[in-house]
């Protein structure tokens, strides 16, 4: 066998046998769910002005726009106040449950519904961070984002331990959740509420049918082959979505950098000065004055921003350079959150950048969190060895996990 054929076979095996980047995917899940949850909580007093039926962008104007572009939003199913409050609360609750990794597969779908419903209701509200969150909420549906650092992983570990003791494990929550959501999806379909663009309705129905297929194969299949086949398909979708997330992050930085290169203020090294002196982007005027007091500092920040954004996609070929530049970009977003008063934009970009963090770093970070938790809550100790904790299921859909119960 030639080297090329051998390398190709190894690559195919790696893509199909496991869901890659479990820790990176978990960080993305936590990052975007946390960002959206914090935004909803902060804007709760202003929710009416942002997305309410009586807001500046009225329900009738939104209806005309949605009718023209076919975008999906559950807020257009009714103009009642109770329905608006229900969708807003659902968006917040699904974000919280996705953050902790409870029924990650189902919550990722509900998280996407919440994000699309609110953002598409008032498309002129938000900034670049909302665009990133909009796309990532769709990509997360295709990932197995609950492999580690989630309640799903803990439930899967406890189920394996129970089966090892000879106990029968049955999941009743999953089928109930599947049935309730299925009835709701059927109702809105029959009532014609999903008559816009076909993509989101098709994705919702596909996710619901796939969940049923997982359950049927897990409970009724006489051999392991059907379960293995479904696991392979899920791994391919996960790895493909992870690749798309990486490409999306690179595309964001590359286009932003090259557009900046064409601007005259970026070319002469003064572009950073101007947003720091706009009232809208100056929550700390004294800090902005301090940063722009030196012309050399302004020039370094301007050229440094362009250089990092243009160079970032090319640094992926060198791990050490990539890690250094990644740390610099995360620091830059943290500075933007404080100096320009754009916390949610910065959080969304940091969450997107997290897909490139080294696995060793994330594992070490997880170990530190566990040690801190044990010190704060000494009674809350995990009764398995540390080595087992590190290996908690990296593949949540392993055949031995899918043949018992229902994974929602």
pLDDT band at 265 (very low <50, low <70, confident <90, very high): very high
Is residue 249 scored above 90 in pLDDT? yes
What's the predicted TM-score (pTM) here?
0.89
For 112, phi and psi rounded to 5 degrees?
A: -60, -40
**pLDDT at residue 126, as a whole number:** 80
* pLDDT surpassing 70 at residue 260: yes
What Å distances lie between residue 168 and 158, 159, 164, 220, CA to CA?
A: 12, 9, 10, 16
- C-alpha closest to that of 87 among 109, 114, 60: 114
Q: Which pLDDT tens digit goes with each residue over 173-223?
A: 999 999 999 999 999 999 988 888 899 999 999 999 999 998 888 777 777
Average pLDDT over residues 365-372: 90
Residue 91 reports pLDDT greater than 90: yes
| CB count in 10 Å sphere of residue 80 | 11
Residue 387's pLDDT is what? 41
pLDDT of residue 385: 43
**Structural tokens at position 323:** 């890690």
Residue that wins the pLDDT comparison between 316 and 38? 38
pLDDT of 29 higher than 80: yes
The Cβ of residue 109 has, within 10 Å, a number of other Cβ atoms equal to: 24
% the chain with pLDDT above 70: 92
* Distance in angstroms (rounded) separating the CA atoms of residues 165 and 181: 34
Give the angle subtended at the CA of 143 by the CAs of 396 and 241, to the nearest 5°.
Answer: 140
Name the band, by pLDDT with cuts 50, 70 and 90, for residue 379.
Answer: low
Task: Region of 121 please: left (phi>0), alpha (psi -120 to 50) or beta.
Answer: alpha
Average pLDDT over residues 275-304: 89
Mean pLDDT of 61-84: 92
Are 56 and 49 within 8 A, CB to CB? yes
pLDDT bin (cut points 50, 70, 90) of residue 349 is very high
Read off the tokens for 345. 């934009």
For the segment 102-130, the average pLDDT, to the nearest whole number, is 92
Joined tokens for residue 127 = 């900034």
Round the average pLDDT of the chain to a whole number and report it: 88
Is residue 344 scored above 90 in pLDDT? yes
Tell me the two tokens of residue 70: 């076919």
pLDDT for the residue numbered 163:
87
């Amino acid at each position: 066998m030639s080297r090329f054929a051998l390398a190709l076979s190894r690559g195919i095996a790696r893509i199909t046998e496991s869901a890659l980047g479990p820790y990176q995917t978990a960080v993305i899940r936590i990052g975007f769910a946390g960002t959206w949850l914090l935004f909803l909580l902060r804007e709760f007093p202003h929710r009416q002005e942002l997305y309410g039926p009586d807001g500046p962008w009225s329900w009738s104007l939104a209806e005309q726009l949605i009718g023209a572009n076919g975008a999906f939003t559950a807020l257009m199913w009714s103009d009642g106040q109770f329905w608006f409050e229900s969708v807003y609360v659902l968006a917040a609750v699904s974000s919280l449950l996705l953050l902790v990794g409870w029924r990650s597969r189902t919550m990722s779908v509900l998280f996407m519904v919440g994000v699309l419903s609110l953002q598409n209701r008032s498309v002129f509200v938000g900034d670049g961070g909302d665009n990133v969150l909009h796309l990532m909420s769709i990509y997360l549906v295709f990932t197995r984002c609950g492999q580690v650092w989630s309640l799903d992983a803990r439930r899967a570990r406890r189920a394996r331990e129970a089966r090892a003791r000879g106990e029968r494990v049955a999941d009743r929550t999953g089928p109930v959740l599947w049935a309730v959501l299925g009835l709701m999806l059927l109702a809105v379909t029959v009532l014609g509420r999903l008559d816009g663009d076909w993509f989101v309705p098709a994705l919702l129905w596909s996710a619901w049918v796939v969940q049923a297929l997982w359950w049927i194969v897990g409970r009724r299949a006489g051999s392991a082959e059907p379960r293995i086949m479904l696991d392979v398909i899920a791994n391919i979708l996960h790895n493909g979505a992870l690749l798309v997330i990486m490409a999306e992050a690179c595309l964001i930085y590359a286009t932003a950098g090259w557009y900046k290169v064409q601007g005259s203020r970026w070319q002469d090294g003064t572009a950073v000065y101007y947003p720091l002196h706009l009232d809208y982007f100056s929550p700390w005027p004294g800090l902005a004055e301090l940063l722009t007091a030196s012309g050399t500092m302004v020039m370094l920040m301007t050229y440094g921003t362009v250089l990092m954004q243009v160079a970032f996609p090319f640094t992926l070929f060198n791990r050490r350079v990539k890690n250094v530049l990644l740390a610099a970009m995360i620091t830059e977003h943290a500075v933007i959150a404080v100096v320009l008063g754009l916390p949610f934009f910065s959080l969304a970009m940091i969450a997107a950048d997290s897909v490139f963090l080294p696995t060793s770093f994330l594992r070490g970070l997880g170990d530190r969190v566990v040690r801190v938790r044990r010190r704060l809550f000494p009674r809350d100790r995990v009764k398995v060895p540390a080595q087992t904790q590190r290996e908690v299921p990296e593949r949540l859909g392993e055949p031995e996990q899918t043949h018992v119960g229902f994974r929602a």
